[in-house]
Structure 1
């Protein structure tokens, strides 16, 4: 089932056949580096994804597949986690696992569509995320979508032999509504 649509992508529920893509992307060192700032990845087995698939309804991470509208090819995943029903906050995560789709607007389009889904469907008030200082492409994409840099955790992540700053970003319902009202004019 498609839960959100952008200009370039559909965001849909994960299907059994998608597990091979999730495994491939999780085990790709370059994807893992930019998605999670991980360099020492362990080989994630298909069995681990199968177990996740059966437990996903009770998981705190709600993951969806990003597919191209044109070909329906899975190219990445997007998720929210740590849903706080009292404060109405979620944490966003995204990665484009198919590297030939990097830098072509697919991630930005997916973020915009997913943000709309989160605010309109889940009735949340705030979306948070973090990334590391070297991930400039992601920071620019988040800013294009309306996220603001809210803080920096100095030298909070140790990656490949050196410390990196963690960039904390967020978007509130008020931010989203300003953007949504501008695009409707």
Structure 2
């Protein structure tokens, strides 16, 4: 599998990426869309996190023209026996927001999941306030499978988490 498109490529997450992860994790504007925690993390916290995930399917998204790391994708709960996984995607460099890099990365990741790993199902979680992500997932055919109502409090308000899923047959029909 070639992990690339015209503008981006994926590379395996490496120990040298700890400082990038640390910067993204501690930028509350970046992480507020992908994590229900807005705690700040020390470099040591991120090193421990890296040690936990280093052997999994975790990739850095790199913009080809500049060779700059712009985000991260991961399959944190990959289950080959049941042929399903969950997706995490995050564009960490804010100057790349709204320019289609998230969509392009998402497409590349879904192609990998369904065409290379040959999985049956993929799921994800999205916060109710993250309307852009929600719309993107719907465009790819994801369906709401459940809602965890008012499960976390942020910025003076309670928010829901939507559980969304996509089957391989649905993905192949739409692409």
TM-score, structure 1 normalization: 0.84
Any stretches of 5+ residues in structure 1 without a counterpart? 181-185
Structure 2 residue 118 is matched with structure 1 residue 123: yes
Q: What are the Cα deviations for residues 8-65 of structure 1, in whole angstroms up to 9, with x where unaligned? A: 32111113332211110011111111121333x12231x343444455455xx53210
Are the aligned partners of 1:26 and 1:44 in contact in 2 as well (CA < 8 Å)? no
Distance 1:162 1:145 in 2: 29
Q: What are the Cα deviations for residues 56-103 of structure 1, in whole angstroms up to 9, with x where unaligned? A: 455xx5321011122221001010111223321111001111011111
Distance 2:53 2:158 in 1: 33
Structure 2 residue 93 is matched with structure 1 residue 76: no
Aligned pair count reads 175
Distance 1:28 1:152 in 2: 27
| Structure 2 partner of 1:153 | 148
Any stretches of 5+ residues in structure 2 without a counterpart? none
Distance 2:111 2:81 in 1: 20
CA-CA distance at 1:140 after TM superposition? 1.6
Are the aligned partners of 2:10 and 2:61 in contact in 1 as well (CA < 8 Å)? yes
Pick which of 8-17 and 105-114 moved more. 8-17
| Structure 2 partner of 1:42 | 40
Change (3 A) 1:54 1:156: closer
Distance 1:56 1:94 in 2: 15
Q: What is the root-mean-square deviation in Å for CA atoms of aligned residues? A: 2.0
TM-score, structure 2 normalization: 0.89
CA-CA distance at 1:177 after TM superposition? 1.1
| Structure 2 partner of 1:32 | 31
Of Structure 1 and Structure 2, which has the larger fraction of its residues in helix? 1
CA-CA distance at 1:157 after TM superposition? 2.5
CA-CA distance at 1:113 after TM superposition? 0.1
